[in-house]
Amino acid sequence: MEKFSFLFFAVSLVLITAEEVHAVMGSYRHHHGSVKLFVFGDSYVDTGNWGKSVATSWKLPYGITFPGKPAGRFSDGRVLTDYIASFLGIRSPVPYQWRKMGTKLLPYGMNFAYGGTGVFNTLVNGPNMTTQINFFQQLLEEKWYTKHDLDSSIALVCLAGNDYGTYLAGKGTMQGLPAFTTSVVHQLSLNLKRIHELGVKKIAVTAMGPVGCLPVSTASSSYQNCSETQNSVSKFHNQILQQTVQKLNNQSKESAFVILNLYGAFMSALKGQENHLGNSKFNFPLKPCCMGVTSEYSCGSVDVNGTKRYTVCEHPESSFFWDKVHPSQNGWHAVYSALRPFLHQLY
């Protein structure tokens, strides 16, 4: 049963995309100068790289909290990228696919993340991390950004969950996971090093969140308990990632690489701890706000007659999770509140 729920986790992420170029100036301005943020990863940081005809995140009820209509984020509102950009005192960087739209967001960097993608190829036909970095390198070669621009640059890297979902959706076994984890983190380390060599001064990479606490995994317990088996996958990945990043920092001698503990931040928020400012208690933390009326439907589903086949909770602001795999805006804010004391490492 564990494997099947993890498989659904992977399939769910295939639907992922992102946000619109709507972004918001944050209330926290910790960084002086024109810092630029370059983002690589999946749905947790994607801000609009999939087309409107592809993603369910461009359909109701996504975006109902912010900006008040579907805008591409796979949430009811803001996502992790918005809060990290807010901390840096800038607006969310423009999605790569929107770079030629004459947007005013180019000075803030660029977002290369595509929901559903991973370090390697996944179940979704989108650019993996290597290809995302290729996009970045091409822009540098085309002089979109100069060496001076990169002197005040930060990269945010958030991915790997889809790699594990794809592995288990195939013929991968739990016994083979350690070797697979080693290969994922090894390639991830090569990619992190490459981003740094391209001129980005500081690279923040997220640890994997507790996949066993996602609603797709907790549904079988009526959203009461996390799956410790699946959480062990995240823990092992994070252990190997920690060792690898330490080696990278030893090699670079400038501590260019930082891990953002997404696992700990999620758990802190889900447990409703109030030792972090801004955290709020959630009524039923593991239960999603938006869900299909039956298991064959999901958030945003409509039938052939156009009738909606999903329900939305009365108070999204009281939910940590928005849908089966993504936090709500308030969930992301709680995660950000837990991460914020450690974000000074970004500069």
Q: CATH no. for residue 107?
A: 3.40.50.1110
Domain assignment of residue 8, given as a range: 2-346
* pTM of the predicted structure, to 2 decimals: 0.89
Strands 257-260 and 94-95: unpaired
DSSP string, 153-221: EEEEEE--HHHHHHHHHTT--STTHHHHHHHHHHHHHHHHHHHHHTT-SEEEEEPPP-GGGSHHHHGGG
Q: CA 281 → CA 1, 275, 284, 295, 320, distances in Å?
A: 30, 12, 9, 27, 9
pLDDT tens for each residue of the chain, 347 residues long: 444 344 444 434 433 333 322 333 333 334 445 899 999 999 999 988 998 888 888 889 999 999 999 888 889 999 999 999 999 999 999 999 999 987 889 999 999 999 999 999 999 999 999 999 999 999 999 999 999 999 999 999 999 999 999 999 998 999 999 999 999 999 999 999 999 999 999 999 999 999 999 999 999 999 999 999 999 999 999 999 999 999 999 998 789 999 999 999 999 999 874 444 444 568 789 999 999 999 999 999 999 999 999 999 999 999 999 999 999 999 999 999 999 999 999 98
Number of domains forming the structure of the chain: 1
Active-site residue list: 43, 323, 326
